[in-house]
Every structure is written in C-alpha cells, then in structure tokens.
Structure 1
Amino acid sequence: MTDNDQPGAAPWGHGRPQLRSGEETKRVRAWYRSVVCPRCDAPVGRVCRTAAGHPAERHHARSKAAGSPPYEEWRKEGLFRTSEQAVIPEILRDSDTMRDRFNVDEPLGDAAAIVGHALVHQVGFSLGDELVLDRFDDAARALALARGPVGSADLVTVLAAQVAALASILAGPFGDPEATYTTFVREQTSNARQQQRREAGRSTSE
C-alpha cells in the first residue's frame, strides 16, 4: 500500500511543490516570456507556438535563454504554498460534480470536466486569448498532477474514445470517420498557422 492509499491521504499531487500559488505561476510565465523564443520566435510576453501554430507551454531553448527563475527570492516573499495552504483545484471540484451528475467513474468525470472548461472558453481559444490558454493549461496540469500517470492515461483513453465517437457521428452512417477527423485536424492546423502569421505580422509592425 502506498502513502496515497492510506485512509484520508491527499490525492496524488496535492501539497507538492509543483502546485504553486497563482502569483508564483504568473511570475514564472513572465520570467520565461521575458525573452524572445529562439526556436519559434515568439515575441516577449507571448506564448510559444508549435510548428503547427498551436500554443505550447515553452520551448527548451527559451527556458535556457531566460535562465532559472529566482525561486529563492520568491520563497522569501512567501509565494510558495505550504501543505496547510493547499486548496483543491477548481477542475477537481468540477470533476466531482460531473461524476455525481452523470453517475460515472473518475476518468469520465475528469473528461467531462476538462471538456466543459474547453467549451466554456471556446471563443477565447479561437481568438488565441493567452489568459484563457494559461488558465486552461493550469487546469489540465492540476488534473494530471492529481491523478498521476495511471489516472492521466485513463483520461487520455476516455477522451480519445469520445473524439472517435464524435467523428463517427459527424461522418454519418455512410461517411468515413477517419477522413472526417483528418480533415478537421488539417483545418485546425491551417487556422493555427494563419493566426501565427497574423501575430508575427503584428509584432513586426510594432
């Protein structure tokens, strides 16, 4: 039996150093975004992008260029949460709500919760709102930390099965679900690249 299997034990990830205060998370992001990314050329203050134009937490080259954040200085300012200060992330509360609502197990509740977050912020995603992207990234990371490798793998399995089912519905009884999904991915990639080019044009004009 592991520590997390003990009665009353906190879920995997709670109280760990990775679960930072909101202010510290903002400072870490601002620190790494204080330099232009050598890999994707993301300008100062903007999120990194993959080759397809999708948002990325940050590239290794950018982390190396910025250097390590001054954690010791921030620790003295009291930015690190203690185990007594730790709170349950909103995404986990939403997962519990979904489990009760649909009477399903944990992976399905997690899937419903994270998809619900994405649907609520769909407009922000389409506009590339970095605040929305950061909040969603925080929710996904909190969920992965809380569930651990096995729970996260279960979540991925559920999400993949749901996407496949939706592709079949969109394709219709005589369509090809795989072709439908491939077309969707290509459209999303094309839109992301167009947005990346627009952002590059704005940064150049500035």
Structure 2
Amino acid sequence: MPRLLPRLVPVVLLLGLACQPQEAPRVYCPWEEGLTLAYEDPSQPQPQRSANRLQVRVAKAAITPGPPSLIQVDVTSLQGQWSVTLKHQDGGVSLLTSQGQVLSVSLPAGFPVTTAWTDGGTAFRVLGRTAWDGAGLLPATADPVGIWVEAQPAQGPRRRTLYLPNLGEVEVREERAGTWVTVQRLVSYGFTDLPTLKRP
C-alpha cells in the first residue's frame, strides 16, 4: 500500500476537481432588464458629442443555464430608436437578424479562453485583462476588470474594445496616425424607464 500511495494521490485530486461545480461562462454584454447605459465619443467636440450620445437599454432578457439566451436591447439617439437582438451562448455574444440568423459574432463561444477568431473578414484577438479607469461610475458590486479585444479589419483602422462582465463594451479605441484615440466610452449607468422620444 505505501508504494501505491504516491500513484493514488494524483488520481484522487483529479477526481476531486472533476466533482467540483463548473463555473458558468461570464456574460460580456448587458443583460439585466431595465439596465440603461449611455455612450459618448470623447474625440468629438461639444455640442456634437452630446448630440451623438447613444443610450442602450435592456428591454427583455432570458438568461438561463444551458440553452442560448436571447437579449433584446433598445438603442436610442436623437435620430431615433431601434432594437437589436443578442444571443449569449457559452461566453460568446452574437448579433441576430430579425429572422433569428447570426448577423455577426462580437465574441466567440468559449470567450475569453478562445483568444483569436475571425468574423466577416475582420480578425480578432484577446490582448489581456485590465481594470477600467472609468469604473467609478459603476456600482461597488460591479467587476471593474475587463478584457481588451483588438479588431483588425481587412481595410480600415484597428480598434480595441474593453469588455466588462455584465456590461459588455465600456470603451472603444481606434488607431489614428499611430496613436490610440477613444471613440466610444460609457458615461452613464443606471436603471431607468423606457426613454420618451420627442416627435416633431
């Protein structure tokens, strides 16, 4: 038996790990119903920056373990309002058409373990984790550590997007003349009623 003990220890440890509950994939997009986020482009001067502000509100969400989860997001600007449907599955996030077909893949299944993928001719790669410097506007319970993803399109500038758990995109940077310029940033977080559109 003493000779078998060194061989049994690794087997017992592996069995113990296999019996541990597996952590569910984190959701890297907004999914709480009523959550309302506002984004601005800091590279634009005022009043253009405020005029182009986007408001994103989670209208419906069905986050459940196992099957794909669908999330309806309403986007509002001074130009109008429209809805998009997102599908979250195994850590990945896809944009769906009105017929339920995948239009584009923002994050692949297995993200962030999956560190490189291609969608629509654009190559994506995970750059790494970092704490977002704008997390002061988030509640204390929010996780401020996100994941930077770089997008390299076949044509056009590279972009880097920081994704936070339960929020998705909080900052987007674009390469311009060799420097990285923030072109979209989360500036407001809260739970609000549906926005009222002013009609002419």
TM-score between the two structures when normalised by the length of structure 1: 0.23
More helix by share: 1
